[in-house]
Amino acid sequence: MQGNKIIGEAAIRAGCRFYAGYPITPQNELPEYMAENLRKVEGGVFIQSESEIAAIHMVIGASAGGARSLTSSSSPGISLKQEGISSLAACELPAVIVNMMRGGPGLGNISPSQGDYFQATKGGGHGDYRMVVLGPASLQEIADLTMDAFDIADEYRIPVMILADGMLGQMMEPVVFKKPKPRNYPESLVMKGAGGGKSKIIRGLILDPLDLEEHIWKLQRKYRMITEREARSELYQTDDAELVIVAYGTASRIAKGAIKRLRKQGLRVGLFRPITLWPFPSQQLRDLAKKVGNFMVFEMSAGQMLEDVLLALQGKARVGFHGRPGGVVPTPIELANVILRKYNGKEGLIDTEL
């Protein structure tokens, strides 16, 4: 199955009953899949919205009404959704948002890129908020993380983004869908009319600064809990590594290819792959830095996750960087050559200048 369609299928299996979105390459197969299949499911609603802004606000309504809700887009469309993502965070409403990144800024191009990392993980919308960001690297992981995304969104009442790119969205791989967990979502949280009782308000407008401050500290406590419980990463060939590449998503697949080549030449190179981009698996990276002194961040961007790596390592290891922005997808051979150049063996493995 194709990446974009896998998300649709996994979402439906996970109980997603609402999708709204506006076409943009390279994610169109997902809304197309939902138009075809979500409407066949009882209670399933598909809407092709008039814009990304409308789509995310429809998701807000549907989520408030208790439906597991999904929207998807690609970079310029995600910029438009930021207003609604900020609202979801403010109102503590669950939703899943897919970003199949393409080259930016502006209209950029439609090639796979990782240029939206800052926007996704630092909160591209306004205000003091966070959202969970998952960075799958394979289609099997796309299937699994899509289901997890809905569970995480419900559990913490938070928007969750699946951050992938056109490469993962477009390619095909066989996948096995895992059994979804039964949904655990209290009826009391659903906005459905007062029903004889007290009326309910869902809002993010809190005019008194002290009250808003309290609300934001409450959100921060939730974010801290998520950081402690949900941070995920993968280690690959790091046991004896002298140099560890840090890469996520499509870039991590390229890195694995490069590492396999270099290992054949006897170089001790490994990979640290963040799976949650927010919360960034800082502690796991720091633990690795107790054994390894040299890291090289590789991204299909001009260097964004790099800042999280530097923050996590706090100067306790040497960090280099290689990036290809603009939708350029380097080959494993290219990356292996870059690593070889940096792997000089004498004064440490990495040049510290970025």
Partner 1 sequence: MKKVFGRPKSMKSNPFHYCAGCGHSIAHRLIAEVIDELGIRDRTIGVPPAGCAVLAYNYFDVDMIEAQHGRGPATATGLKRVLPDRIVFSYQGDGDLAAIGTAESFHAANRGENITVIFINNAVYGMTGGQMAPTSILGQKTTTSPVGRNNILDGYPIKISEIFAILPGTTYIERCTVTSPASIVKTKKAIRKAFQYQIDGQGFSLVEILSPCPTNWKMSPPEACRWIEQTMSKEFPLGAIKDLPAEEMKKQQKGK
Contact pattern from residue 293 through residue 332 relative to partner 1, giving x for each residue in contact according to CB under 8 A and a dash for the rest: ----------------------------------------
Identity at 90, one-letter amino acid code:
A
Contact pattern from residue 205 through residue 244 relative to partner 1, giving x for each residue in contact according to CB under 8 A and a dash for the rest: x---------------------------------------
Contact between 33 and 4 (Cβ < 8 Å): yes
**Binding to partner 1 in span 120-159, by CB under 8 A:** none
Quick one: which of 159, 201, 139, 138 has its CA closest to 63?
Answer: 159
Residues linked to residue 272 through DSSP beta bridges, in sequence order: 235, 246
Least CB distance to partner 1 at residue 199 (A): 5
Query: Three-state SS for 331?
Result: coil
Distance from C-alpha of 132 to C-alpha of 277, rounded to nearest angstrom: 8
Quick one: which of 143, 7, 157, 139 has its CA closest to 72?
Answer: 7
Q: What is the DSSP string of 257-291?
A: HHHHHHHHTT--EEEEEESEEES--HHHHHHHHTT
Distance from C-alpha of 191 to C-alpha of 116, rounded to nearest angstrom: 33
Nearest residue (CB) to partner 1, 63 versus 233: 63
**Binding to partner 1 in span 43-102, by CB under 8 A:** 43, 45, 47, 49-51, 53-55, 57-67, 69, 83-84, 87, 91
Distance from C-alpha of 180 to C-alpha of 65, rounded to nearest angstrom: 21
**Does residue number 193 form part of the binding site for partner 1 (CB under 8 A)?**
yes
**Binding to partner 1 in span 7-26, by CB under 8 A:** 17-18, 20
**Binding to partner 1 in span 258-297, by CB under 8 A:** none
Least CB distance to partner 1 at residue 344 (A): 54
Nearest residue (CB) to partner 1, 176 versus 207: 207
Which residues, 6 or more positions from 50, have their beta carbon under 8 angstroms from its beta carbon? 22
Read off the DSSP letter of residue 245. E
Least CB distance to partner 1 at residue 169 (A): 24
Nearest residue (CB) to partner 1, 44 versus 293: 44
Nearest residue (CB) to partner 1, 27 versus 71: 71
Least CB distance to partner 1 at residue 7 (A): 20
Residue 194: both structure tokens together = 């007062």
Nearest residue (CB) to partner 1, 52 versus 230: 52
Which residues, 6 or more positions from 1, have their beta carbon under 8 angstroms from its beta carbon? 9, 139, 172, 173, 174, 175
Interface with partner 1 (CB under 8 A), residue total 41
Extract long-range pairs of 33-41: CB within 8 Å, 24+ residues apart.
Answer: 33/4, 33/5, 33/8, 33/9, 34/8, 34/70, 37/8, 37/9, 37/12, 38/8, 38/12, 41/12, 41/17
Contact between 189 and 153 (Cβ < 8 Å): no
Least CB distance to partner 1 at residue 194 (A): 5
Nearest residue (CB) to partner 1, 176 versus 194: 194
| Span near partner 1 by CB under 8 A; candidates 96-104, 167-175, 187-195, 273-281 | 187-195
Nearest residue (CB) to partner 1, 73 versus 114: 73
Least CB distance to partner 1 at residue 92 (A): 12
Binding region for partner 1 (CB under 8 A):
17-18, 20, 43, 45, 47, 49-51, 53-55, 57-67, 69, 83-84, 87, 91, 191-196, 199-205
